[in-house]
Amino acid sequence: MADDEELIARARNGDLEAYGALIARFTAPAHRLAVLLGAGADADDVVQEAFVKAHGSLNRFRPGAPFRPWLLRIVANEAKNTVRSRGRRESLALRVPEQRVAPDDPEAEIIAAERRKTLLTEIEKLPERERQVLLCRYFLDLSEAETAEILACPRGSVKSRTSRGLTRLRNALGEEAHRG
């Protein structure tokens, strides 16, 4: 399987199959990010538009730089534009990974579902900057550097927003946040 640099070089030279391989490789994380940033039902459109813009900007992509954060920054910008143009805020559409519970323990399943619902509710209440950082860091499992690049903010801002967001969640969730 070709690496990103090879595919980008080929795509710059007009190889649509190479760009198609990049699309296949990065559609899932791009879609997750669009949904996490509030695109909701428009996530497919956001991702498609981001891939079109990325293709048109390949000549400005810095050779040797990682493609994933560059692309996800375009997705983040498209998602922000979509949410802003909508003029209203959609509810956050994401799924917290379900905790594994014994299949014969309905009480544990109910408790786990309630915890997920509470967590999602509290994440939705966070200020947008803190929510975006936490979603990138913990739901997309991005590094601080990738998060900073995607959200177009300094790495120090990612650290402080992460800290503030986690503190707010801990305070809102009380002891729930300290239990696993």
> What does the pLDDT look like over 31-64, one tens digit per residue?
999 998 888 888 999 999 999 999 999 989 988 8
List, for residues 120-147, the tens digit of each pLDDT value. 888 888 998 999 899 888 888 888 998 9
Instruction: Give me the residue spans of the domains in the chain.
Output: 4-86, 106-178
User: What CATH class does 106-178 carry?
Assistant: mainly alpha
On the question of a common fold for 4-86 and 106-178, the answer reads no
Buried b vs exposed e over 130-161: b needs ≥16 C-beta within 10 Å? bbbbbbbbebeebebebbbbbbebeeebbeeb
Residue-level pLDDT at 87: 54
4-86 placed in CATH 1.10.1740.10:
yes
